[in-house]
Structure 1
């Protein structure tokens, strides 16, 4: 492209220079010769008038005075008495001459000028015009190279940016080139890079979240299946364990749907009145065998019969995350306390371990923050699920660790459903 742009600009410049230079050279050449002829005519008329004036006043006409007044000319004067006077040097034979003659009152004057001088002057002017034309061509080539570089480098840069986007490097470059059309393309590519970066980040986040969130129900499901295999001789236990495994599978499906909704940037908060005791009891039943294998136990305390506004799958996942976090990072007995505060239904999960390190206390809910032995995603995702349903997850006590889930009370739904009456009933 650079070569085509350079050649096209040079061709346009050459055509313009030729269209102007050739007529200008011809006109200059003709003007120089015309001016030489007119100058020679004026000199001849002046000499003729001077000779006539001298003859009328009785003064002598001398060739020396005429030669001094008109150097570089060869002048021949023929007087009425047939006297011939010559002034200047006679030009050698074969030299082209410009000659003009006048006759008046018996006086004949002939003035000659070498054409070589006029030709040299015309040649100098033509060379000047040619030099200016060459200078114009050189300036045109320089400007064409500059413009070609100015246009082609941004396009090459934009092509590189597009190639980077195709290879997955979606970092916007924020470069502008001073050309409105090219800057518009660069701006569109930068916006596309931001969108691609968001999509890639969402994909990576979804993969990371899915791997973490699916681990807990899969672990519990595997344990239930192991229990079924060990209890094959006891049909009642097999049915019980099969029902628990089916519950885990249904919960696993709900987790997958939540993660897919998060990847689509949807809100998954299908909050509804949920019996907190049922969700907590189901989680305790699933996790108690795991804690017993680790030599630990789970204890339930607090109020019963509480109803909170939350998605059952979300509350199950939050409690499961807190129990898993306690299993990995905590110690001793895990205590789950349910209670009713002034505006929320609260589920607290605490253990007897060393708690959250001081350096992580303020960042424990941030993504990828972990005290070791984990992925740093569990608490981050658990808080996200709580927020979606209008609740929140907080760290009430750092050492030993006590986490609390604050759920909206079911009364809020009834208040929202009641019509507002204005004026007397």
Structure 2
């Protein structure tokens, strides 16, 4: 913007100088030439008067007498009846400006001046005009630079304020610049910052209150489940179901604690190095009965003994969302495939259903976007959970659907890896992965 302001200002100044400068040069040239003609004519009339007075007084008339009466660099020729012409001064060469005057006794005087004298004076005037124009341009440059700084610096500052506001720092800056329009923008940004700060404070307070209120019933539920496990020694089915329910409550407690921590300080991270196999197996064990009731199977393939960087509870929640979506919206066998790409561990979930509609492919992770009767929040929340600890959740293929969870990879203990298979042989990476 600064360059544009300087360029536009200089362009306006140059146009004004060109228009008025050319007009001034033309007017001055004509004025100088007309003045030279008038001067030559006046001198011719004056010399005729001198010659006539001398004729009346019968005084001597020659070039020596008339030479002091003529302007330097001019040439005059005096013609008197019955006498030879009298030449005064050096005769010019080239183009001249001439004027002739006649007296009452038949005498005449012709005065000539070289046109080069007029051209030299026009040239000097042109140089003066050019010098003034150059000074005007320099003054315009200085003023344009100062004006550009005065306007562009506040705009740069406002852009930094908007960027800082968009990055999550809603503190108002309360800076003003003495330009009404820019001060108005600064007022709007400060007002927006204050409103965003109030909204963020209210949201964090709500999350903290909700998380705090949930901890008490979850703790009580955990204690009741532990009592069921302790008293159900002869009922293996009840004990197994209570153990699974207790694991789910503990994971939910971790999620609530994570929400509470983020509400206090959103910059606090909880990513750790954990055993990915344990999280995946735990999810398979939880969801396998639901798949069995629907007459479908849930299988694992790919690399085993993998470790990843993240929050185990958040990763479990992401996998639970993907497995539930495959149960609700997919069909046939659901496959969870693990593999390693560079420094990342990848968990892919795919099924044999119709997949994601083409019109929802690029928007499937947006909130309130759903192809069927659902809230449309599951995948959006799952992606937020994945990204909170540096991972990401992607839709690699729409049909058959392939969702992939990318996590940071760490070396497994012992440095060995193999293939994990439950119910089927290890297969290749699903198509599109």
For the pair shown, the structure with the greater C-alpha radius of gyration is: 1
When normalised by structure 2's length, the TM-score is 0.49
When normalised by structure 1's length, the TM-score is 0.50
